[in-house]
Chain A
């Protein structure tokens, strides 16, 4: 039976993914990636050796009768994910570290080490489906719309896809929990993790303050302005703001105001009304395609935020940058976030949002 390496985070999803592979008769090897040293985080009280995720993954693996190992990817993770996260905020953008990790660190490392361990395939507990077809492998949305995680996987290099398995793609979260309970897995009742794994306190500004040279413009006071340049307030550092955000702007406005834009060169945070948030054209860079790249004039759908629906768009150009004209205007398009291009349920690829513009709607 072919040997599969399954990434186990110590959560319920990857625990069940591993269990399903064992049931299916695969020779399963579990691994947990140690992405950063948790003992550096204050008041977490954890050490590298006692890390919850690693410990839980090992408990589950042992119960399933499979070996379990820890891959230390701290160096790569710091360079590819944390440094990028800090750099993006310092540029006034809002990164997706999980996308970055999947695209650059996690799967690449799993494949590389999997090869050395004689594993033909790599599996994870993502809620996505993959179809291995003669003409190539296709990544599809998970069947449970509430859990679908295809948004996070557009960056997987196309040549990796044929070797991936996603056992949870056709299940709902409830079904996964039920399987975990039926198997009495130690992680069956574990709550969903929401926060960014390397920001367990939830306050990413602390991380930026620790990692950016001081003083850094991203963390210094600046003006809150309207689109006409009128100053309406002051903020404590533009790194605390993301497009569409309402919190942290202070009060006393006649109408609710939202962040429209972050301007790192002047340290300005531009605010405006809900209507002013809308854009019709989006430019996407750092592209990755799973199969053929779309051509100008193609109709696609694009998802620009996790848990947001995909919207219809026409491809303007798709060379170095992808330009998409949205059929309907769309609010709070955020530079740095992923724009994932779909054809129906299939992920074609995606990139990072560079900018969004008004007008030019088709």
Chain B
């Protein structure tokens, strides 16, 4: 049987249209966009066309799109850069981040708090995806503040109340950043239409673009201190010779993801429903994380009682089903998920597996994966 890839939230293949769009920049159009000459101008035009393409899709101004080299870099630049810019006024800013953020946000926030650069609050998220807005408001105080909350949680697919948070930020004049890495192509991500969003991160490789690419939306007027020093590229926000091919790649991938969003949403929801229905009906002791929340269509985070998480994942891989546990470090150290703990408290004994669907998923593959999972779980429980 063919192996089934159900880890689209980890990464995706570069789709052919994106490969085609990027191809000229490997050799034919290789110039440095900062150069004045013909070669440079060609590259510069391609870069700016890509920027315009991305801006149009997001409903923002061209100058508000800053190309970065991936989601982690975008998140770091947004959180750290915005807080540092606020600190320039002499007051230690508050930084409020949700407990279910990606480590690209959580870890930079923690480092900054340790260094005394920010007063950090990690605010909880309920299993239904909601946030205690009254509590959050009381923690904001009156001074400068940055709020960072992801749009769609990468481990569970839970949709977070980004518009509410954006409204709160606007009202309190806080800078609001959202990591939209898992939201783009799944949710209507149009920061141009949501005034309270000051910063928004997108990654290329989660949406069938190349790895090492991404963009940060920076609303005009939002002060961000760069992390790197060098030339003046990307309005000095991200110095370094531009990756023109990557910019074209992420912009093309973004456009296609948004164009196909509604059709893909329906398709993936149906497939996910099939997967979850089979698992819930054929096994006892199964919990869907975020079942009571509004969820993006591509993630099924399923908790299985009475099995060892790493043995479950390895067995699935040996049987040809690629899924993942906590979005772990590459060695797969098997540490528990901070997201599951944030949602359900410490000491969850279930083995949580994230199946994430996408363009490689079809009905046959989903049924095969579901059947394999049922077999493996039964075997590990000693039921088979």
> Distance (Å) between the CB of A50 and the closest chain B CB?
8
B233 in the interface (beta carbon within 8 A): no
Shortest Cβ distance from residue B11 to the other chain A in the assembled complex, whole angstroms: 16
Complexed CA–CA distance, A69 and B315 (Å): 11
Chain B: minimal CB distance from A154 (Å): 29
- Is A117 a contact partner of B311 (Cβ separation < 8 A)? yes
Say yes or no: A116 contacts B318, CB within 8 Å: no
**Binary interface encoding of chain B residues 47-62 relative to chain A, with 1 for a CB under 8 A from any of its CBs, else 0:** 0000000000000000
Which B residues touch A34, using CB under 8 A?
331, 333
Of the candidates A48, A69, A118, the one having the most CB atoms from chain B within 10 angstroms of its own CB is: A69
Tell me if A's interface is mostly helix, strand, loop or mixed: mixed
- In the complex, A148 Cα to B110 Cα: how many Å? 49
Please tell me if the beta carbons of B330 and A49 are within 8 angstroms of each other in the complex.
Answer: yes
Of B311, B333, B380, most buried by chain A (CB within 10 Å of CB) is B333
- Residue B121 interfacial (CB < 8 Å): no
Interface presence of A123 (CB below 8 A): no
Which chain B residues lie closer than 8 Å to A175 at the CB level? none
| Interface pair B315/A116, CB less than 8 Å apart | yes
- B333 and A29 form a contact (CB under 8 A): no
- Whether a CB of chain B sits under 8 angstroms from the CB of A51 is yes
Which residues of chain B from 300 to 318 have a CB within 8 Å of any chain A CB? 308, 310-311, 314-315, 317-318
A26-38 vs B, CB cutoff 8 Å, 1 = contact: the mask equals: 0001000010000
B231 contact set on A, CB distance < 8 A: none
Say yes or no: is B332 at the interface (Cβ < 8 Å to chain A).
yes
- A145 interfacial contact with B, CB 8 Å: no
| 0/1 string, B319-348, CB within 8 A of A gives 1 | 000000000011111110000000000000
Q: Are B311 and A113 in contact (CB under 8 A)?
A: yes
Q: Is A195 an interface residue (CB 8 A)?
A: no
Q: Are B315 and A117 in contact (CB under 8 A)?
A: yes
Residues of B within 8 A of A29 (CB): 318
Q: Which residues of A contact B314 (CB under 8 A)?
A: 67, 69, 117
- A67 close to B317 (CB less than 8 A): yes
* Nearest chain A CB to B134 CB, angstrom units: 39
Contacts of A113 in B (CB 8 A): 311
A118–B375 alpha-carbon span in the complex (Å): 13
Docked-complex contact A116 and B311, CB < 8 angstroms: yes
We find that the number of chain B residues with CB closer than 8 angstroms to chain A is 15
Chain B residues in 8 Å Cβ range of A117: 311, 314-315, 318
Cα distance A116–B309 when bound, in Å?
A: 11
The residues of B that contact A47 with a CB separation of less than 8 Å are 329
* Complex-state Cα separation, A51 to B331, whole angstroms: 8
Are B380 and A48 in contact (CB-based, < 8 A)? no
- Find chain B residues with CB under 8 A from A49 CB: 329-331, 333
Measured between beta carbons, the chain A residues less than 8 angstroms from B318 are: 29, 67, 117-118
Chain A positions within 8 Å of B380 at CB level: 116
CB distance A72 to B311 under 8 Å?
no
- Render A104-119 as a binary contact track against B, CB cut-off 8 A, 1 for contact: 0000000001001110
**Distance in angstroms between the alpha carbons of A67 and B316 in the assembled complex:** 12
B329 and A48 contact, CB distance less than 8 A: yes
How far apart sit A119 and B318, CA to CA, in the bound complex (Å)? Answer: 11
How far, in angstroms, from A70 to B317 measured CA to CA in the complex?
13
Residues on A with C-beta less than 8 A from B334 are 70-72
Select from chain B the residue with minimum beta-carbon distance to A27. Answer: B318
Residues of B within 8 A of A72 (CB): 310, 333-335
Residue A257 at the chain B interface, CB threshold 8 Å: no
Within 8 A of B (CB), among A42-59: 47-49, 51, 54
**Chain B residue with minimal CB distance to A69?**
B314
**Whole-angstrom distance between the alpha carbons of A48 and B332 in the complex?**
10
What's the least CB distance linking A62 to chain B, in Å? 13
Nearest CB in chain B: distance from A114 CB, A: 10
| C-alpha gap A47/B331 in the complex (Å) | 10
Complex alpha-carbon distance, A54 and B332, angstroms: 10
The proximity string for A residues 61-88 relative to B, scoring 1 for CB distances below 8 Å and 0 otherwise, is 0000001011110000000000000000
- A34 CA / B329 CA spacing, docked (Å): 13
Give Cα A51 to B318, complex, Å: 24
Note all chain A residues with C-beta closer than 8 A to B310: 69, 71-72
- The distance in angstroms between the C-alpha atoms of A113 and B331, with both chains bound, is 17
User: Complex formed: what's the CA distance from A70 to B331 in Å?
Assistant: 6
Closest to B312 in A: A116
Cross-chain contact A70 with B311 (CB below 8 angstroms): no
Q: How far is the CB of B327 from chain A (nearest CB, A)?
A: 12
* A47-B333 Cα distance, complex, nearest whole Å: 12
CA–CA, A113 and B332, complex, Å: 15
| Choice from B311, B315, B331, B335 contacting A54 with Cβ under 8 Å | B331
Chain B residues within an 8 Å CB radius of A118 = 315, 318
Residue of A nearest to B314 (CB): A69
1/0 per position for A313-329, CB-CB distance to B under 8 A? 00000000000000000
- CB–CB A70/B308 < 8 A: no
Residue among A48, A67, A70 with max Cβ neighbours from chain B (10 Å) = A70
Interface residues of B in 79-102 (CB under 8 A from A): none
Whether A48 contacts B331 by the Cβ 8 Å rule is yes
Residue on A with the closest CB to B328?
Answer: A49
- Shortest distance between the CB of B320 and any CB in chain A (Å): 11
Which of B311, B315, B317 has the largest count of A CB atoms less than 10 A from its CB? B311
A195 to B380, CA, bound (A): 38
Question: Could you tell me the distance between the alpha carbons of A29 and B332 in the complex, rounded to whole angstroms?
Answer: 15
How far is B334's CA from A315's CA once the two chains are assembled, in angstroms? 47
Q: Digit string of B348-383 for contact with A (CB within 8 Å is 1, else 0)?
A: 000000000000000000000000000000001000
B335 contact set on A, CB distance < 8 A? 72
Seen from chain A, the residues whose Cβ lies within 8 Å of a Cβ on chain B are 29, 34, 47-49, 51, 54, 67, 69-72, 113, 116-118
Interchain residue pairs with CB less than 8 A apart (11):
A34-B333, A49-B333, A69-B314, A70-B331, A70-B334, A71-B310, A72-B335, A113-B311, A117-B311, A117-B318, A118-B315
In the complex, besides A70-B332, A72-B334, A113-B311, 10 extra interface pairs with C-beta distance below 8 angstroms are: A29-B318, A34-B331, A54-B331, A67-B318, A69-B310, A71-B334, A116-B308, A116-B380, A117-B311, A117-B314
Top 5 A-B pairs, shortest CB-CB distance: A49-B329, A116-B311, A72-B334, A70-B331, A72-B333
